Structures are given as C-alpha cells and as structure tokens.
Amino acid sequence: MSDQAATATLHVALGERSYDIHIGPNLIADPQAYAGAIRGRRVLIVTNDTVAEHYRAPVEQALTAEHDVDTLILPDGEAYKTLATLDTVAEHLLAGGYGRDATIVALGGGVIGDVAGFAAAVYQRGIDFVQVPTTLLAQVDSSVGGKTGVNHPLGKNMIGAFYQPKRVLADIDVLVTLPEREFAAGMAEVIKYGLIRDAVFFDWLEANMAGINAREPELITEIVRRSVANKAEVVIADEREAGERALLNLGHTFGHALEAELGYGAWLHGEAVAAGMCMAADTSQRLGWLDSAQVERINAVIAAAGLPTAPPPQTSAARIFELMRRDKKVSAGALPLILLADIGHAVRHTDFGDALDQTLHHYLAA
C-alpha cells in the first residue's frame, strides 16, 4: 500500500492546544513521526490484545531509542470502554510512578483512544498523549478533536473530557489488517462528512465506493484526508461543541440509543450511526426537507459501504425514545437532533412535530 500513497499533514489550530495530524503510509514505525510530540523520557503505550499482535513491536521499536517505553495491553471491545478500564490505566500509571512529564501513546481504535485519552486528561490533572489510530473510524473521526471518555450503562460517552492530543498519526498501512466489518464501520463517519457539510465529497464517495471497498491506496488516503480536513475545520471553529460541532452528531443520537439498548459491542459504533443516519434522513423527509430520491441516494451509499440502513426491527420504539431523551446533548428538556436540510447541509432541530414519532414507529416495534 505504502508505495502508492503520499503523506499529508493537517494542522488543528487551537492556540496552545494546537497539533498536527499526519496521514500516510509507514508512520507508526518511523521515529521521526513522533519527534517533538513527546517531551519526557517515559512513555506508556496503551493498546489492546488484538492491535498489540500486529503493531506493538514496531511502535515500541520506534520509541525505544529516545524514551523509556512500557506497554499496557487491555482487552478489545466496546464492552471495555468503562470506568473499570479507566481505573486499570490509572493504577498502572500510579504503580509505575509516572510523573507529569510522561506521555501516553494511544495505539488502537476508538475505544483505546477514548479511554487512554481520558486517562491522560485526568491523571495528575493532565499529561500528554499521542493518538495512533488503527481503525478507519478512529482515523477519520474519534482521534481528532479531543473528545475522550467512557460509557455508562445509562448512556454512551456520558463520562469524559475534552482533551486534545499532542499529535495524531493516521497510518493508512494499518488498514490492511482491518476486518471488513470494522472498515465498513469507519465508512459511516466518512459518509457523515459528505452528508453534513460536503456534498461534493458525498458525490465522490458515491462514484468511488467500489474502489474504496477494495482499499485502493490513493482512495483510502483521500477519504482519510478529506474527512480529517472536514473534522479539523469544525473543531477549530467550535472546540467544545457549543455550536457547529454539534452537526458532527448526525445519526449519533439514534445510534447511541441503539448501542445502549442492544448492548455495547453487539453492533459496532459505525453500524449504529449508519442506521441512525438513515433514520435522520427519514425524519428529514417527513419534515419536508429531503425528497424520496435524496433519501434513496443516502440509503444506497450507506448500503454500498456494507452498512445497515435500519436497526433490528424488534427493537422497541418507546425504549429507543427513552434512551434518546437521556442523551448528553439534551438541554432544558429539549431533545436536539441533527437532521438534513439537503445533502451537504445539516441543521440542528428540536421541533419535530409527529415526524420523529413516525420515524421511530416506521423502523421499530411498538
């Protein structure tokens, strides 16, 4: 893969919290890729057992020449994105005598990035961390923007902090080992950017999905670069989700409720978001904003990426609505949803009339 794709660098300009995102081949094994992002001697790599099998050794080798490196291997899966896992990381740091000049390297997908980043945010009131995302979803979304946290049985990502990394290394070579289901889950977030703010990108995805599914290197580099560019622009404008950044949640309020109801890990995050985006498109059509042809295009692109376009039909509409009402974005009793005024134009909306209820009962059991 690496001989056909160039490296790109994007800068997230957030004042003293600014950092670079490097996108390209052969990054995780290159000591220079980490240079300047790690200020102290001690480094703790936090990863999981699946990722460690493939990438622990090259990352350790890249860092050992300049740093004292230790590795903590956690179990793999969304079911372990918990306070108990956070405590495991904190205990390892404490028992190892790590100081405030230590750096955590988060080597893995979204769960590792969120848990390790949250540990960095709270350990001794904040130590540095570097994101080395190994899934498409993490590369295009969760590693960028500083959202860290863990799940609770009553809600996804309800306990966490905004905490920016010192650098993100999105190595496209690691996507070679990514299972098809995990790759498809990442495509949900890629498609999201086209739907919320980049209609030209959506058109490009529609035309290139076969090559993307075949993981053609130049196409993979482009989807990561274009997605990260969109995410970075939003984060720079609205770091703490006071306005525009909320648009990144298209499909997520539906999706988070589905994840909580089905049990974390039963569906991958991207799968739940994909179904949630289809439900958001349906609600948008019921409000008169999208026409049936646009909804069909959205469903077709999501299906072509190998993603579900609907939740399990036996899921309870009442239960999903109850979980949506517990979402962390609910304010003063109002449930905001990100919907589509057009492909490439998302809006935040709280006055659904009967449209939301009709959508829930269209997809779900009474």
325 in catalytic set: no
Rounded Cα distance between 209 and 215, Å, is 10
Annotated active-site residue 269? The verdict is yes
Q: Is 39 a catalytic residue?
A: no
Q: Of 192, 256, 286, 349, which residue is the catalytic one?
A: 256
Question: Catalytic pick from 78, 222, 241, 259?
Answer: 241
216 Cβ contact partners less than 8 Å away, ≥ 6 residues apart: none
Report strand pairing: 8-12 vs 19-24: antiparallel
Kindly name the residue from 166, 249, 286, 299 that is annotated as catalytic.
249
User: Is 222 one of the catalytic residues?
Assistant: no
For the purposes of burial, counting CB atoms within 10 Å of the CB of 293, is it exposed (0-12), middle (13-18) or buried (19 or more)? exposed
Q: Which of 252, 261, 299, 349 is catalytic?
A: 252
Given 166, 226, 245, 286, the catalytic residue: 245
- 112 close to 55: Cβ distance less than 8 angstroms: no
Dihedral in degrees, nearest 10, Cα atoms 87, 79, 257, 275: 140
User: What is the edge-to-edge ordering of all strands in the sheet holding 68-74?
Assistant: 8-12, 19-24, 167-171, 128-133, 103-108, 42-48, 68-74
Q: Which of 166, 197, 231, 349 is catalytic?
A: 231
Confirm whether 166 is a catalytic residue: no
H helical segments located in the chain: 31-34, 49-64, 83-95, 110-122, 136-137, 180-197, 199-213, 217-237, 252-262, 269-286, 292-304, 317-325, 355-363
Q: Which two tokens stand for residue 362?
A: 């269209």
Catalytic residue, from 60, 182, 189, 259: name it: 189
Q: Check residue 343 and give left, alpha or beta (phi > 0: left; psi -120 to 50: alpha).
A: beta
349 is catalytic: no
Considering only CA atoms, give the Rg of the chain.
Answer: 20
Does 226 qualify as catalytic in the annotation? no
Compute CA distances 143 → 115, 209, 307, whole Å: 11, 23, 22
CA distance 231 to 193: 8
Q: Which of 269, 271, 286, 349 is flagged as catalytic?
A: 269
Q: Mapping DSSP to helix (H, G, I), strand (E, B) and coil, where does residue 220 land?
A: helix
Q: Return d(Cα 55, Cα 43) in angstroms, integer.
A: 16
Q: Is 213 a catalytic residue?
A: no
Is residue 249 part of the annotated active site? The answer reads yes
User: What residue spans of 198-246 are helical by DSSP H?
Assistant: 199-213, 217-237
Q: Does the annotation count 147 as an active-site position?
A: yes
Q: State the catalytic residues.
A: 125, 147, 189, 231, 241, 245, 249, 252, 256, 269
